[in-house]
């Protein structure tokens, strides 16, 4: 039986069971949960970086967004609050729409 030792989406055990397979799981405490969400964010970001086309990229961005929702909740907030902070930063510092690439700054 392969060992995965990773955070999975809530319905994965149900999907595994419906395929007639056996599995084991456990529920993480809050500290473990945040740690595993952070690990999962790197995994999903890597998958985004390796996406071969726009459709695959959107799938991976959706996974990253799901993790952001969960992390915001872990920090006692919401994705709406994260969006509010994002908008404030965009007003103060701008976004990335103009594709500006900084080469150097003279001291």
pLDDT of 5 higher than 90: yes
Q: pTM for this structure?
A: 0.89
Spatial separation of the C-alpha atoms in residues 43 and 36, rounded to whole Å: 10
Start-to-end CA span in the chain (Å): 58
The mean predicted confidence, pLDDT, of the chain is 97
pLDDT of 1 higher than 80: no
Q: What is the pLDDT of residue 2?
A: 86
pLDDT one-digit tens code per residue, 41-88: 999 999 999 999 999 999 999 999 999 999 999 999 999 999 999 999
pLDDT one-digit tens code per residue, 20-46: 999 999 999 999 999 999 999 999 999
Name the helix (H) or strand (E) containing 61.
helix 54-74
Place of tokens 């701008």: 94
Spatial separation of the C-alpha atoms in residues 107 and 21, rounded to whole Å: 62
């Amino acid at each position: 039986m392969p060992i995965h030792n990773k955070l999975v989406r809530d319905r994965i055990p149900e999907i595994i069971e419906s395929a007639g397979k056996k599995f084991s799981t456990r529920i993480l405490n809050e500290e473990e949960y945040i740690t595993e969400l952070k690990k999962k964010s790197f995994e999903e970001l890597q998958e985004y970086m390796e996406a071969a086309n726009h459709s695959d990229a959107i799938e991976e961005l959706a996974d990253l967004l799901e993790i952001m929702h969960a992390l915001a909740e872990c920090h006692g907030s919401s994705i709406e609050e994260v969006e509010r902070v994002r908008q404030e930063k965009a007003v103060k510092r701008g976004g990335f729409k103009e594709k500006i690439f900084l080469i150097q700054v003279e001291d």
